[in-house]
Amino acid sequence: MSGSPATVDGRALRVALLGCGTVGSEVARLLTEQADEFAARAGAPVELAGIAVRRPDKHPELPAHLLTADAAALVESDVDVVVELVGGIEPTLEWLLSALRRGKSVVTANKALLAEHTAELAEAADASGADLYFEASVAGAIPLLRPLRESLAGDRITRVMGIVNGTTNFILSAMDSTGAGYAETLDEASRLGYAEADPTADVDGYDAASKAAILASLAFHTRVTASDVHREGIAGVTASDIGAAKLLGRTVKLLAICERVTSEDGTESVSARVHPVMIPRSHQLAGVGGAFNAVYVEADAAGELMFYGQGAGGSPTASAVLGDLVAVARNRVVGGRGPRESAHAGLRVRPMGQTPTRYHISLDVADRAGVLAQVAQVFAAHDVSIATVRQRDKHSTASLVIVTHLAQDAALQATVDEIGKLDVVREVVSVMRVEGED
Ligand SMILES: NC(=O)c1ccc[n+]([C@@H]2O[C@H](COP(=O)([O-])OP(=O)(O)OC[C@H]3O[C@@H](n4cnc5c(N)ncnc54)[C@H](O)[C@@H]3O)[C@@H](O)[C@H]2O)c1
Ligand SMILES: N[C@@H](CCO)C(=O)O
Ligand code: NA
């Protein structure tokens, strides 16, 4: 590391690594193997000062003198930066608050923590002048948060929509290509190692909802937490839904959708939601297969932007962590700070029921005169306008496929509930929200 200038306080940047699992082990490896490159890029040597893991005795591959099970003590020791790759909220929140209060910068991939506690973390960072970076927390390797926080800071973002969970995208892509049901596809995903032992956070949409909260907060300069995000997972997606989507030239994706919504009186609010959506097969997000992520951003001046790449995995996620670490080191060298939390807009978060959405509804109905009129009347009673109706005759029943115009989600739900109770409706085959024009 000859010739590298030291940090502002005259020495190498000392890094505490909390967690050395899938992501942490890749960070440790790359940081050690490429130490000279990091020193050159950061403007100061970057030194691994300690590694906290749950069981140090299980890590013969790591230098024993660096290992500890006491993360809290490592945070309090003589380190400049804490890289947190443990996950979870307790005790991680305490460690990171302790680091920030002591003026130590934090780099984390922990979306669950950020989606609930960014405000506290950002306030602690501001009080001490430390940095808080978290590029790896959403869409792994894909540079997305820095573009939102910095490159687009001069624009007005209207929408961020995308595939931010690899596990569910893998499952839905496989259901689309094989026609198989959800349960058997989840088993296959587990067998191949894509789904975790406990896949709940992924398949029930918690992981994507945390990421949506982070994206909405940055895009709309407003504090949005995971509990503000409407969340539906993929466990209810059936082979019938996938089949119905195919008949319409669509496919099903689990999307995080964060929008700036303007009311008739001009008041702005934010909508943040995660749920399965039918999108046209020609849509840019439809071609995103397997465990990849893709996020589509719309801004007033920039227009449409698309971010695509690997959203998970040890080495792709480590790429984002190390980029943040270099940024922190550079800030230390020149004595500056990275971007602070920007929550000045403080927009209201709109409840799902008041969010404008469009529905696809597929029904098996009795094949006789007046049925279509009865169904249409229910839509009219709820002030829901129909965009298209397709009818196909079966044996004694007919299949009706209805796509609506935009309406309040609560009105659409009420319409579906009432239609299901009509005598002439034999079966509600599929109900799902749609995005994108046909
Ligand atoms: N794996 C991915 O693809 C991925 C992608 C993006 C973000 N993330 C996030 O990165 C973080 C780490 O994920 P991972 O997949 O590497 O997890 P992991 O389970 O593989 O590793 C966790 C590490 O934390 C250590 N640890 C657990 N409890 C500890 C304690 N009390 N004290 C000290 N160490 C402790 C474990 O020993 C282990 O080394 C999580 O926040 C996760 O959401 C992961
Ligand atoms: N479990 C997550 C990891 C990346 O955050 C996924 O499947 O996308
Ligand atoms: Na990212």
Question: pLDDT tens for residues 259-277?
Answer: 999 988 999 999 999 999 9
The residue from 299, 334, 369 where one domain ends is 334
Q: Which of 23, 61, 62, 74 to mutate to test the pocket of ligand 1 (most atoms within 8 A of CB)?
A: 23
Question: Do the beta carbons of residue 397 and residue 426 sit within 8 Å?
Answer: yes
Residue type, 95: W
- Apex 190 CA angle, 186 and 193, nearest 5: 140
CA distance 99 to 93: 10
Has residue 8 got a pLDDT over 70?
A: no
Is the distance from the beta carbon of residue 209 to the nearest atom of ligand 1 less than 6 Å? no
Residues 379 and 359 in one domain: yes
pLDDT of 395 = 76
Q: 300 is written with which tokens?
A: 């007033």
What contacts 434, CB < 8 A, 6 or more positions away? Answer: 250, 277, 278, 279, 358, 359, 360, 403
Residues 271 and 325 in one domain: no
Is residue 82 in a domain? yes
Residues 361 and 399 in one domain: yes
Residues 320 and 360 in one domain: no
Q: Which of 23, 85, 165 to mutate to test the pocket of ligand 2 (most atoms within 8 A of CB)?
A: 165
pLDDT of 311 = 93
Specify the residue with its C-alpha closest to ligand 1, atom 31: 54
Is residue 344 in a domain? no
Residues 289 and 192 in one domain: yes
Compute the distance from residue 317 Cα to the ligand 1 centre, in Å: 11
CA 166 distance to own-chain centroid = 10
CA distance 239 to 175: 7
Supply the range of the domain harboring residue 396.
353-434
Q: Residue 289: which CATH number? A: 3.30.360.10
Is residue 1 in a domain? no
Per DSSP, the residues of 368-401 read STTHHHHHHHHHHHTT--EEEEEEEE-SSEEEEE
**Ligand minimally distant from the alpha carbon of residue 194:** 2
Which ligand 1 atom sits nearest the alpha carbon of residue 313? Answer: 3
Residues with CB under 6 A from ligand 2: 140, 165-167, 202, 207, 311-312
ipTM beyond 0.95? yes
* CA separation, residue 437 to residues 53, 247, 286, 387, 434 (Å): 49, 15, 13, 11, 9
pLDDT of 396 = 79
Residues 151 and 105 in one domain: no
Question: Do the beta carbons of residue 161 and residue 256 sit within 8 Å?
Answer: yes
Chain-wide mean pLDDT for the chain?
94
Q: 2 is written with which tokens?
A: 């000859």
Q: Which residues surround ligand 3, an ion (CB under 5 A)?
A: 135, 139, 142, 144, 320
- Burial of 386 from C-beta contacts in 10 A (0-12 / 13-18 / 19+): middle
Has residue 5 got a pLDDT over 80?
A: no
pLDDT of 191 = 86
Q: What are phi and psi of 51, to 5 degrees?
A: -130, 120
pLDDT of 9 = 59
**Ligand minimally distant from the alpha carbon of residue 23:** 1
CA distance 432 to 237: 9
pLDDT tier for residue 7 given thresholds of 50, 70 and 90: low
* CA separation, residue 344 to residues 150, 220, 221 (Å): 15, 9, 6
Has residue 196 got a pLDDT over 90?
A: no
Has residue 190 got a pLDDT over 90?
A: no
Residues 154 and 286 in one domain: yes
CA distance 24 to 314: 8
Is the distance from the beta carbon of residue 181 to the nearest atom of ligand 1 less than 6 Å? no
Q: Residue 22: which CATH number? A: 3.40.50.720
Helix runs in 182-278, H state only: 182-191, 200-203, 206-220, 239-247
Question: Do the beta carbons of residue 226 and residue 209 sit within 8 Å?
Answer: yes
**Ligand minimally distant from the alpha carbon of residue 320:** 3
Residue type, 214: I
Residues 166 and 111 in one domain: no
345 pairs with which residues across the strands? none
Is residue 343 in a domain? no
Compute the distance from residue 177 Cα to the ligand 1 centre, in Å: 32
Residues 369 and 382 in one domain: yes
pTM > 0.80:
yes
Is residue 46 in a domain? yes
Question: Do the beta carbons of residue 346 and residue 223 sit within 8 Å?
Answer: yes
Compute the distance from residue 141 Cα to the ligand 1 centre, in Å: 16
Specify the residue with its C-alpha closest to ligand 1, atom 30: 54
CA distance 248 to 379: 20
Q: Which of 134, 138, 167, 206 to mutate to test the pocket of ligand 2 (most atoms within 8 A of CB)?
A: 167
Q: Residue 381: which CATH number? A: 3.30.70.260
Beta strands in 2-88 (DSSP E): 13-18, 46-52, 67-68, 81-84
Specify the residue with its C-alpha closest to ligand 2, atom 2: 165
Is residue 339 in a domain? no
The residue from 276, 301, 334 where one domain ends is 334
Residues 296 and 328 in one domain: no
Residues 153 and 257 in one domain: yes
Is residue 69 in a domain? yes
Is residue 348 in a domain? no
41-76 residue pLDDT tens: 999 999 999 999 999 999 999 999 999 999 999 999
CA distance 135 to 323: 8
Residues 167 and 295 in one domain: yes
Which ligand 2 atom sits nearest the alpha carbon of residue 194? Answer: 7
The residue from 275, 299, 334 where one domain ends is 334
**Ligand minimally distant from the alpha carbon of residue 145:** 3
Question: Do the beta carbons of residue 275 and residue 230 sit within 8 Å?
Answer: yes
Domain count for the chain, please give it: 3
